[in-house]
Amino acid sequence: MIEPGELLKHINYPKDLRALGKDKLFTVCKELREYIIDMVSIYGGHFGASLGVVEMTVAMHYVYNTPFDQIVWDVGHQAYGHKILTGRRDVFHTNRVYKGISGFPKRKESEYDTFGVGHSSTSVSAALGMAYGVHHNNEDRKVVAVIGDGAMTGGLAFEGLNNAGISKDKDVLVILNDNCMSIDPNVGALKEYLTDITTSGTYNKMRDEVWKLLGKFSKFGPNAQEIASKVEAGMKSVLSKESNLFEGLGMRYFGPIDGHDINHLVGVLEDLKKIPGPKLLHCLTVKGKGFKLAEKDQTKWHAPGKFDKITGEIRKKVPSTPQAPKYQDVFGHTIIELAKENEKIVGVTPAMPSGCSMKYMIAEMPDRAFDVGIAEQHAVTFSAGMATQGLRPFCNIYSTFMQRAYDQVIHDVALQSLPVIFCLDRAGVAGADGPTHHGAYDIAYFRCIPNMIISAPMNESELRNMMYSAQLDKVDKPWSIRYPRGQGVMPEWKTPFEEIEIGKGRKIKDGNEVAILTFGHPGNFAVQACKELITYDINPAHYDIRFVKPLDEDLLHEVFSKFKKVITVEDGCVQGGFGSAILEFMVDNGYSSKVVRLGIPDEVVEHGTQQELWAECNYDKDAIIAAVKELAHAETPEVAI
């Protein structure tokens, strides 16, 4: 067990932190940073983001009376220090482990986690809503939102700021954690704007003078303070056009300040507690602060896995046999192959070029691949605009983040039947990131949209062929290709391209009595299950359906004409998903078979490894074997819904 430092081991809750003198805070920060390094090096998890906000975390819990005062984190992978200081230090080794604590703030886990997060750009809106509640309840509590500069590119953040700026009687502080990073380096005009603010010598010098002037005026009473505020606003307007963005939205702007100067941070926060209304504090931080390698290569050290904290060597198992690649890497290399042959192909991703492997195309074809920042709605409509001009956009968005752009998929793409190719990475259970990141719903939420083609590859070769088929000129509607996080099954994955006919599935093996219908990667679980079922003298048939929309009706007529017992397997929600589509076909065509659906249940699935969650959700190899054995012995052809 890792032992915390001499001060940290006595801090079980923020009240213990607040009992310390300010002269001890520097040491607390040092010990907290070392503890995070020790824990993540041994147990894994997100790394650089939490190191960058150590001082900010300590300062907030020192100044504010948490949990009565409310702190809202954005995204949440920067909240490790927060968790350690709020009663979870001794269980922190279970972070992101099956049945352990979540890697993100979670309301049911702690009263200090005021708002559940995992998706970006939500903090300002949530905090403003809390501030309205505080005002309504006549409570004297403070509300603080901590948002990273990467999350500021999300439209929701600006919607919140826009509303906050006119809410003059609502006391909310937004802390902008400016480190020029999300997972990958930030892009876009906002990044340039923040850089301009932080490097403007004239503005920063005059800002300091204005603050000194305000301090002198404050002793002459409220009227003088009002005059000083007008002086401040006027001088900012004249001397720094950059300062007008936040203040133009009605937020009082303070900063930029050094986010690693704990004593100054505490002083500023104590002052800001006395200033009513909506305000923004701009803090400059370094992602990975305190661990040199993480400071130098911030993308690599966002979530490096286990590592040697002395040498910096990241511990990775060296396989003894050739391994299958990750699906995302197959996508990343395949889109370049296709783009070299088809000049109409372009790539789009909302701030996940490393995660989805669009980074390869961005590096090789920078004029044809775009990271648009954390802005899923823009990514979809931007892709739709390019499609109107004859281009073939591959819009790669994690399944869970595609939820944020649902209206754009319907209104801007599907209603106009534009050939945008949606590649949904991390479809199915996402592993240790947990329920905020599981791609459970895309089959169901896309299946009801007119003009949408919905497909899933069973392996890397199928992914390549679906990508190839989707970019052909004859395709005149949007096409969704979903695939899971992590490895596929084909070490020799670079197969020649073959066109797949839209809506055509395939029979993997013939059999009798029971038919297994699979969609996507879980088809591999069924292949393994069929091999083991031979030992039980059971020989099910296996069909890889490939397309949920349109369905292969010829193949399904074959299935329901021959089999009275059918199992569907998917790594998506069973409510409204692939299995539901099969049931609808059966009923619409007058068949009556016993159908058992395996997939993600109608409940919140927590975090764990993918293997643990496949088993928990009952659609892994063993679950398929159990379902086939039970169904094979069932006598009545009733429909199990």
Helix axes of 25-43 and 54-63: crossing angle, nearest 10 degrees: 130
Catalytic residue among 88, 236, 326, 404: 404
* CA nearest to 145, candidates 118, 158, 126, 163: 126
In whole angstroms, what separates CA 436 from the centre of its chain?
A: 7
Report the distance separating Cα 458 and Cα 546, nearest Å. 8
**What is d(CA 307, CA 327) in angstroms, rounded to the nearest whole number?**
24
**Dihedral sign for Cα atoms in the order 596, 600, 602, 603:** positive
376 in catalytic set: yes
| CA distance linking residue 302 with residue 304, whole number of Å | 6
Query: 397 is written with which tokens?
Result: 């968005």
Q: ∠ CA(75), CA(79), CA(80), 5° rounding?
A: 135
Amino acid, res. 121: S
d(CA 467, CA 394): 9
CA atoms lying within 13 Å on the CB side of residue 471: 27
Q: Which of 242, 247, 376, 462 is catalytic?
A: 376
Sheet holding 70-73, edge to edge: 70-73, 143-148, 172-178, 279-284, 252-258
453: three-class secondary structure by DSSP:
strand
What is the residue-wise DSSP string for 539-605? Answer: --EEEE--EEES--HHHHHHHHHH-SEEEEEEEEESTTSHHHHHHHHHHHTT---EEEEEEE-SS--
Q: Taking the CB of residue 534, how many other CB atoms lie within 10 A of it?
A: 10
- What's the per-residue H, E or C state across 497-555? CCCCCCCCCEEEECCCCEEEEECCCCHHHHHHHHHHHHHHCCCCEEEECCEEECCCHHH
Measured CA to CA, the distance from residue 412 to residue 406 in angstroms comes to 10
287 is catalytic: yes
User: Rg (Cα) of the chain, in Å, rounded?
Assistant: 27
Residues taking part in catalysis: 287, 376, 404
